Amino acid sequence: MIGWLIFFFALFLASLGYASYKSYSKNRSSDEFMLAGSNIGAILGFLTFSAALFSAFTFMGMPDFFRTHGVGAWIFLGLSDALMVFFLIWFGYKLRKRASEVGYKGVAGFIQICFQNKWAGYLIFASSFLFLIPYVAIQIRGISIFLDAAFPNLIPGWGWASLLVVLMLVYSEIGGLKAIMYSDAIQGLIMLVVIWIIGYTCLQMAGGLEAGIAKITENNAGLLSLPGPKGLFSSPFLIASALAIVMIPVSQPQFTTRLVIMKDLKSVHKMAYAVGIFAILVILPTAFIGLYGAVSYSESSTAEFLSAALLYDQASPIAALAVVGLFAACLSTTNAQIFALGTELRSLLTGSDKKIMRITQIAIFVFSIIVLVFSTYMSDELVLLARVSFTGTSMIAPVVLGAVIFKNPPKSLLVLSTVALLYFILSLAELVPAGFAGLPTDAAMYLILIPATVLLMLVHHFSSKTTHEA
């Protein structure tokens, strides 16, 4: 397998090198470096959005989710992603319209201008920093666990993590966002091909769909219905997850920025349904891998199951492709998020273009080091940690939605999001009660946050109408 691994890695690294070379320009402005010239077409847009969205947690977390919690995993990610892409049709339009009026360098700077309040920008940056760092660390942690299990004693887990971060830093610092987008396109395609090959072979090894489901009915029938054998997929959990995922383009800057820098609205809309199709295609084979896991590795640990299903039970070339595919999936999400943090910081900076670009590049390096350190201290619950990140960032959604809907958005939305964000952080630290009435924290918070946001927006809408009429 090592021979195949070297072969596929060499191909992958060569394509990344080519992407960086094609994207490099000596006298580029910080806008060209950070926003890829704001001229991205539908195909590249769809591939970069998909690659940033589907990552190590899709590749590894979802098969494990299907294996341990059952069929509700489709609702958790598949249906939620479909609802998210539908929402993109409207949100993409409103966001681009507003960005064309006030200008766009990053979400934090955009919000600062829309609210005419510098703290609004800091709030967005703080939320991104607090929840994207653990999310990026999840990706790195995921790939390290897998590679460590796959190649014990070759290099330690932190060695794999460092390799990934160094690689990402090299090509993103050379080529900027354009290099990241080209590499995302390569990584997205690799991921799709690899996950289908593995999904298909796993389905065969499970004895086919009918035989596999029959075995599960015999051994653990709870996997075939809601809420799953461990009771995770309750209605409040699934609804709260769907809301958090639908809000991803609103509250996670790497996606918001991708919507703004696309060539035109038509490209955004084409990209939206293409991402929906991609989501179905990527998540479906993870169900087959999970089915195989439930049949053959029901009692194994996550690491044992994944290393067996993705590596040891596969033919050498497929196992080698799986390693490269996983590495690619992890890399694309990681670089999108770290680069987004750089973009957010840049949008808050003032000064000469050269100085801003230097500070941003240094910041991207510092964020990478923080992520690397953080990844060595976190737990292995990849999907659930990812969900905490989605929920955390969604607390600032009222602010972003207010900014795109209203010309003069109400400041009360800033207070609402700040309180929600603080409460969510305190509940994670177990300093305040988490949830109420039997609801998990996020579902309980949405129960307050959504009506409160709607109410504040309606009051603002009618009060500004009255003022204009007067």
Partner 1 sequence: MKLKPWHFLASAVFLLSIVSFWFIFQEDKTNPSLGSVPFIFWSSFAITVLVVLATFLGSIIFPQEKSPKS
Residues that bind partner 1 (CB under 8 A): 38, 71-72, 74-75, 78-79, 81-83, 85-86, 88-90, 93, 96-97, 99-101, 103-104, 209-210, 213-214, 221, 224-227, 234-235, 238-239, 242, 260-261, 263-266, 269-270, 272-273, 276-277, 279-280, 287
Distances (CA, A) of 148 to 34, 160, 306: 34, 8, 12
Task: In whole angstroms, give the CA distance from residue 223 to residue 233.
Answer: 11
Closer residue to partner 1 (CB): 277 or 432: 277
Closer residue to partner 1 (CB): 101 or 353: 101
Distances (CA, A) of 27 to 20, 23, 169, 182, 441: 15, 12, 20, 20, 49
> What's the closest the beta carbon of residue 121 comes to partner 1, in angstroms?
17
Task: In whole angstroms, give the CA distance from residue 470 to residue 466.
Answer: 6
Closer residue to partner 1 (CB): 69 or 460: 69
Closer residue to partner 1 (CB): 264 or 353: 264
Q: Where does residue 75 rank: exposed (0-12), middle (13-18), buried (19+ CB within 10 A)?
A: middle
Distances (CA, A) of 289 to 99, 205, 208, 220, 408: 42, 10, 12, 16, 49
> What's the closest the beta carbon of residue 48 comes to partner 1, in angstroms?
17
Q: Where does residue 283 rank: exposed (0-12), middle (13-18), buried (19+ CB within 10 A)?
A: buried
Closer residue to partner 1 (CB): 16 or 403: 403
Residue of 410, 355, 441 lying closest to 120 (CA atoms)? 410
> What's the closest the beta carbon of residue 414 comes to partner 1, in angstroms?
23
Closer residue to partner 1 (CB): 148 or 344: 344
- Please tell me the number of Cα atoms within 13 Å of 347 on its side-chain side: 28
> What's the closest the beta carbon of residue 378 comes to partner 1, in angstroms?
30
> What's the closest the beta carbon of residue 390 comes to partner 1, in angstroms?
17
> What's the closest the beta carbon of residue 159 comes to partner 1, in angstroms?
39
- 84 neighbors 359 (Cβ within 8 angstroms): no
Task: In whole angstroms, give the CA distance from residue 232 to residue 48.
Answer: 31
Task: In whole angstroms, give the CA distance from residue 128 to residue 132.
Answer: 5
Closer residue to partner 1 (CB): 149 or 262: 262
Long-range contacts of 9-13 (CB under 8 A, 24+ apart): 9/324, 9/327, 12/186, 12/190, 12/324, 12/327, 12/328, 13/167
Closer residue to partner 1 (CB): 266 or 358: 266
> What's the closest the beta carbon of residue 268 comes to partner 1, in angstroms?
9
> What's the closest the beta carbon of residue 13 comes to partner 1, in angstroms?
33
Closer residue to partner 1 (CB): 105 or 141: 105
Tokens 């330690």 identify what position? 156
Task: In whole angstroms, give the CA distance from residue 143 to residue 157.
Answer: 9
If residue 307 lies in a helix (H) or strand (E), which one and from where to where?
A: helix 302-307
> What's the closest the beta carbon of residue 246 comes to partner 1, in angstroms?
9
